[in-house]
Amino acid sequence: MNDHHSTPIVFRAKRSPFALKSILLAASSAAFALAALPADAAFLDNTYPAIQCVYHSGGVPTPYFGMLENRTTQTSVVECPIPLIDGQDINRVKVAVWNANSAATVTCTKRKVELSKTFGGGYRWFEDTQSSVLVDDWQILEFKGINVDPSYETHAFVRCEIPPADGTSYSRIGQYKTDN
């Protein structure tokens, strides 16, 4: 069980109408953005917003209600860390993407790097790539699981290439999740 997901958020602010309106506006905006994402009930546990992804290269994506949206003229590359717990395998990794580019796809690659725990023992590298189809709708890119080998220090992430804006239509990554 992930206790860190059940920690309540406590707002400490003076009771002013402006502060209350700001909190309500932020909460309703976040709820609206989450409502627009895939309605897969299984998408809720171990789910991470795309804003946790790290910019790597190309056009700098714009944070948009927890998502990353590419409004530039270049492909944007981001890397999304996959949290791993020692000895616990991950059955599946999913990424919610929206492709709005008529000439390119959102492409994501799940990468796992295993570093030997023995000094000078080397490393192993594994990849699995999925691409969106050319549809202006949410799509789930699904990857095989991650086996955690206790004799290696395992690091995993999903690297996504978000195509450039197509006029005023923007491709984006909404969220990603793991199934343990």
Instruction: Summarize the confidence of residues 51-68 as an average pLDDT.
Output: 95
Confidence of residue 39 (pLDDT cuts 50, 70, 90): very low
- Which pLDDT value is given to residue 99? 95
Chain segment 90-112, per-residue pLDDT in tens: 999 999 999 999 999 999 999 99
Mean pLDDT, the chain, rounded, equals 79
**∠83-86-91 over CA atoms, to 5°?**
60
The answer to whether residue 2 is domain-embedded is no
The answer to whether residue 5 is domain-embedded is no
Chain segment 112-149, per-residue pLDDT in tens: 999 988 777 788 889 999 999 878 899 999 999 999 88
Domains identified in the chain, total number: 1
| Token representation of residue 16 | 């002013």
Domain that holds residue 121: 12-179
Distance CA(77)–CA(61), nearest Å, equals 9
Whole-prediction pTM value?
0.73
Query: Which percentage of the chain shows pLDDT scores above 70?
Result: 76
Confidence of residue 78 (pLDDT cuts 50, 70, 90): very high
The answer to whether residue 102 is domain-embedded is yes
- Which pLDDT value is given to residue 14? 39
Domain harbouring 44, CATH code: 2.60.120
The owner of tokens 């999740």 is 177
How far, in Å, are 13, 31, 133, 175 from residue 46 at the CA level? 30, 18, 25, 10
The answer to whether residue 169 is domain-embedded is yes
The answer to whether residue 6 is domain-embedded is no
pLDDT beyond 70 at 12? no
Is the backbone of residue 151 left (phi > 0), alpha (psi -120 to 50) or beta?
alpha
Confidence of residue 20 (pLDDT cuts 50, 70, 90): very low
pLDDT beyond 50 at 48? yes
The answer to whether residue 3 is domain-embedded is no
Instruction: Summarize the confidence of residues 16-43 as an average pLDDT.
Output: 40
| Token representation of residue 39 | 């309605």
pLDDT beyond 80 at 168? yes
- Which pLDDT value is given to residue 66? 92
pLDDT beyond 80 at 3? no
The answer to whether residue 16 is domain-embedded is yes
The owner of tokens 């923007």 is 170
The answer to whether residue 80 is domain-embedded is yes
